[in-house]
Each structure stands twice: as structure tokens, then as C-alpha cells.
């Protein structure tokens, strides 16, 4: 759940603004530590990125915010479906 909080919480904090070293971008690519998909109201609905431990993952949030689907090859459970409180409803290794 740490990963989910990092991705979604990162949208609302200055985490991504912390100074860091950046390698030069390729002319045909985009480099970033995080990509967020926001709905019309500015609420993060999906995130792809790295948490503070360098673990990569993808998080999708339901429209009402009650469910999150997280995919992270670095986590104990590669796929997790959790409720708003973080309780895991379903997971797969």
C-alpha cells in the first residue's frame, strides 16, 4: 500500500519537485519519474511512476475513489485490488 500512497500522494505534494539529477532526454522519448492521469476536476485517476524506494508501478483508481488497482513487479503482490481504506480485496503474486 506504500506504493499506492506514494503515487497518488505525490500528485498533491512537492515530492516530484525535490532536486535530483536528470539525464539528457532522447530526441524521440520522454523521461520522467511519474506520469499522472487527472480527471476533469483535477483528481488523480491513474499513475505510473517510482516511489521513494525506486519501486515502479501502475495505479488505477475508480471514479468514486473507493477502489484501487495496483500493479508493481517489485511489490510482494504483483497485482492488488484494495478499498479506500487500503484493505486488500484481492491480490495475485
Do 77 and 88 meet the contact criterion of CB atoms below 8 Å apart? yes
Do 15 and 32 meet the contact criterion of CB atoms below 8 Å apart? no
pTM for the full predicted model: 0.65
Residue that the C-alpha cell 480527471 belongs to: 39
Q: Which three cell numbers stand for residue 19?
A: 532536486
Domain assignments of the chain as residue spans, ordered by start = 2-11+32-92
Q: How confident is the model at residue 82 (pLDDT cuts 50, 70, 90)?
A: very high
Residue that the C-alpha cell 499513475 belongs to: 47
**CA–CA distance, 20 with 47 (Å, rounded to integer):** 20
Per-residue model confidence as pLDDT tens digits over 10-58: 543 333 334 455 566 677 888 888 999 999 999 999 999 988 888 899 9
Amino acid at each position: 500500500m506504500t506504493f499506492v500512497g506514494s503515487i497518488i500522494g505525490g500528485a498533491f505534494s512537492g515530492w516530484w519537485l525535490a532536486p535530483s539529477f536528470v539525464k539528457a532526454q532522447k530526441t524521440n522519448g520522454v523521461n520522467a519519474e511519474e506520469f499522472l492521469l487527472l480527471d476533469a476536476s483535477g483528481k488523480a485517476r491513474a499513475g505510473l511512476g517510482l516511489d521513494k524506494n525506486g519501486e515502479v508501478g501502475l495505479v488505477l483508481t475508480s471514479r468514486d475513489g473507493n477502489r484501487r488497482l495496483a500493479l508493481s513487479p517489485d511489490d510482494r503482490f504483483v497485482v492488488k485490488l484494495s478499498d479506500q481504506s487500503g484493505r486488500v480485496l484481492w491480490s495475485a503474486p
